[in-house]
């Protein structure tokens, strides 16, 4: 028995000397059942966030009216407990962009919020770039409340005086060469394309036709597409459909509770920016990254 113990000690020493122990540890770490949480959010070259309107989670998830949303989700990190901040629409747009509803409680226009902290100002101050692309907005830099199917209430960046007019552009200028995108882009479809005035199927087709090419490109170009909704259909639950598609994403369903502030904090963390407002008390999403 003593001889066996002595042999075991020498054998272990030999493994350490030859590096075999290290190799064994690496093999165990590579076990496909192990799903470690990332230490940080990847530093993406580009993030595009698109916001749709007024649909509860169950109206999109698994719905035959939203085949593309669900196809995209099958290639994504899908969040099964994602929530808006409040009702109605406008304060949710403001919250996702600035970490607070800033006292906005209605869809009234204009909301002039001055030089309060916001994501666009953060990015530009850090040497990054931001643009908001609004479908059907009549001209770049437009500050009017409405024009046809464009509504300023869904364009939060125009409310802040410290976001330059050059960051407020029409969706027609969204580049087909995705390398020309800003660091972070917010996309606002018009009142029909975003499902506010038109059917779920209309928004589903718009998403496929307009952003599938970017979603597929993002996977191999260190970029990310965030698809979400401003609020649900007016219920007290306010659960919405949110997915992340692109590079470094571990495909699957994720059940942690997130909201607009969590999404904002995650974008900020990608670029080493501090959390602002309600995002400051949130942890960035880490478990969805490779």
Give pLDDT tens digits for 113-169.
999 999 999 999 999 999 999 999 999 999 999 999 999 999 999 999 999 999 999
Q: What is the pLDDT of residues 82-101, one digit of tens each?
A: 999 999 999 999 999 999 99
Strand pairing category for 168-170 and 130-134? parallel
Partner residues linked to 227 by β-bridges:
50, 243
User: Side-chain half-sphere of 197: how many Cα atoms within 13 Å?
Assistant: 9
| pLDDT for 34 | 54
Does position 12 have pLDDT exceeding 50, yes or no?
Answer: no
Q: Give residues with Cβ within 8 angstroms of 181, minimum separation 6.
A: 46, 48, 131, 174, 175, 223
Is-contact 47 267, C-beta < 8 A? yes
Q: Residue 31's pLDDT is what?
A: 40
Asked if the bond preceding 110 is cis, omega within 30° of 0, the reply is: yes
Cis, bond preceding 88 (omega within 30 deg of 0): yes
Summarize the confidence of residues 211-221 as an average pLDDT: 98
The full DSSP string for 165-198 is GGGEEEGGG--SSGGGS-SEEEEE--TTTTSSSS
Of 7-16, 67-76, 133-142, 172-181, the poorest mean pLDDT is in: 7-16
How does the average pLDDT of the chain come out, rounded? 91
In CATH terms, the fold of domain 44-281 is: Alkaline Phosphatase, subunit A (3.40.720)
The β-bridge partners of 114 are 160
Burial of 268 (0-12, 13-18, 19+ CB in 10 A): buried
- Can you tell me whether residue 266 is helix, strand or coil? helix
Return the closest-CA partner of residue 202 out of 57, 58, 48, 69.
69
**Segments of the chain assigned to CATH 3.40.720.10:** 44-281
């Amino acid at each position: 028995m003593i001889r066996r113990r002595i042999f075991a000690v020498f054998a272990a020493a030999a493994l350490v000397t030859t590096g075999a122990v290290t190799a064994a540890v690496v093999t165990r770490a590579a076990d496909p059942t192990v799903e470690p949480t990332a230490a940080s959010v990847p530093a993406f070259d580009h993030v595009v966030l698109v916001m749709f309107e007024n649909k509860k989670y169950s109206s999109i998830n698994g719905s035959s009216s939203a085949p593309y949303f669900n196809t995209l989700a099958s290639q994504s990190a899908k969040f099964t407990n994602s929530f808006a901040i409040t009702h109605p629409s406008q304060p949710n747009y403001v919250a996702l962009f600035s970490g607070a509803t800033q006292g906005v409680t209605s869809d009234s226009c204009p909301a002039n919020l001055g030089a309060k902290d916001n994501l666009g100002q953060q990015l530009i101050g850090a040497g990054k770039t931001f643009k908001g692309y609004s479908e059907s907005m009549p001209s770049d830099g437009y500050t009017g409340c409405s024009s046809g199917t464009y509504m300023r209430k869904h364009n939060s960046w125009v409310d802040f005086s410290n976001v330059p007019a050059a960051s407020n552009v029409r969706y027609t200028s969204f580049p087909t060469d995705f390398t020309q995108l800003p660091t972070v882009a917010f996309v606002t479809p018009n009142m029909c394309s975003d499902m506010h005035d038109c059917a779920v199927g209309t928004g589903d087709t718009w998403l496929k036709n307009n952003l599938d090419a970017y979603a597929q490109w993002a996977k191999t170009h260190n970029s990310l597409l965030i698809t979400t909704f401003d609020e649900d259909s007016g219920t007290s639950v306010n659960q919405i459909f949110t997915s992340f598609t692109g590079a470094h994403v571990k495909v699957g369903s994720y059940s942690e509770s997130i909201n607009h502030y969590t999404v904002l904090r995650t974008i900020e963390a990608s670029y080493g920016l501090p959390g602002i407002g309600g995002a400051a008390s949130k942890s960035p999403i880490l478990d969805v990254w490779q």
